[in-house]
């Protein structure tokens, strides 16, 4: 299995950024944990953080040629703005799980809309870093074609 993890804008600042909202765990710690979990399951994990929408779109398009089985994405601020990320995910037709550290539905009203949720395999929000682990477990446990 080959799983891609995408982190959107400002998630490079995890650990320092609004720790009351996003916690103290850094992105490096999250990725290391996911890499270990994937390795133990005999799977390959690819991770990318970008502040640029086009870089994330390019990476999603590339995933098709790389036979990625599942995408875990925290689109961060692009959740609430990006038709382009939605279109890219629909274009490659790779199942994806949307993850948020915080619970956007419990925050400002502009965070209540997601351009991804209705086309996602699932949504995990408000559980902090463990949300990524649950998403990864889901892909590691699901049949190959999923
Ligand atoms: C976030 C929630 C988004 O509303 C916000 O823009 C982020 C992070 C989260 O993980 O809780 O940058 O996706």
Taking only the tens place, the pLDDT of each residue in 70-87 is 999 999 999 999 999 999
Map residue 4 onto helix, strand or coil: strand
Per the annotation, the verdict on 7 as an active-site residue is no
103 annotated binding-site participant: no
Provide the residue range defining the domain that includes 65. Answer: 2-141
- Which of these ranges, 25-29, 54-58, 140-144, has the smallest mean pLDDT? 140-144
Give one DSSP letter per residue of 42-99, joined into a string. Answer: T-EEEEEE-S-HHHHHHHHHHHHHTT--EEEEE-GGGGGT-HHHHHHHHHHT--EEEE
Indicate if ligand 1 lies below 6 Å from the C-beta of 128: no
Number of H helices, E strands in the chain: 5, 5
Mean pLDDT (whole number) for 49-62: 98
Q: Are 122 and 138 in contact (CB under 8 A)?
A: yes
Ligand 1 centre to CA of 37 (Å) is: 24
Nearest ligand 1 atom, CA 100: 10
In a domain, 59, yes or no: yes
Q: Which residues pair with 125 in a beta bridge?
A: 100
The CATH code of the domain that includes 27 is 3.40.50.9100
In a domain, 146, yes or no: no
In a domain, 7, yes or no: yes
Number of domains in the chain: 1
ipTM: 0.99
Mean pLDDT (whole number) for 94-102: 98
In a domain, 128, yes or no: yes
In a domain, 11, yes or no: yes
For residue 146, is pLDDT > 50?
no
CA 116 from centroid of its chain's CA atoms: 11
In a domain, 83, yes or no: yes
Out of 7, 22, 112, 132, the active site residue is 22
Position 90 scores a pLDDT of: 98
In a domain, 49, yes or no: yes
For residue 143, is pLDDT > 90?
no
* pLDDT band (50, 70, 90) for residue 144: low
In a domain, 18, yes or no: yes
Indicate if ligand 1 lies below 6 Å from the C-beta of 76: yes
Indicate which residue's Cα is closest to atom 1 of ligand 1. Answer: 76
Map residue 122 onto helix, strand or coil: strand
For residue 145, is pLDDT > 60?
no
């Amino acid at each position: 299995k080959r799983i891609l993890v995408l982190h959107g804008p400002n998630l490079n600042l995890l650990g320092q950024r609004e720790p009351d909202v996003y916690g103290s765990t850094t992105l490096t710690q999250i990725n290391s944990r996911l890499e270990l979990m994937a390795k133990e399951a005999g799977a390959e994990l690819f991770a990318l953080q970008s502040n640029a929408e086009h870089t994330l779109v390019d990476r999603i398009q590339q995933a098709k040629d790389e036979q990625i089985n599942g995408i875990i994405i925290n689109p961060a601020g692009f959740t609430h703005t990006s038709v382009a990320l939605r279109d890219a995910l629909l274009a490659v037709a790779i199942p994806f799980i949307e993850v948020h550290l915080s619970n956007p539905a419990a925050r400002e009203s502009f965070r209540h809309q997601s351009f991804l949720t209705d086309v996602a395999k699932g949504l995990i929000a408000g559980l902090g870093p463990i949300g990524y682990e649950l998403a990864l477990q889901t892909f590691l446990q699901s049949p190959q074609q999923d």
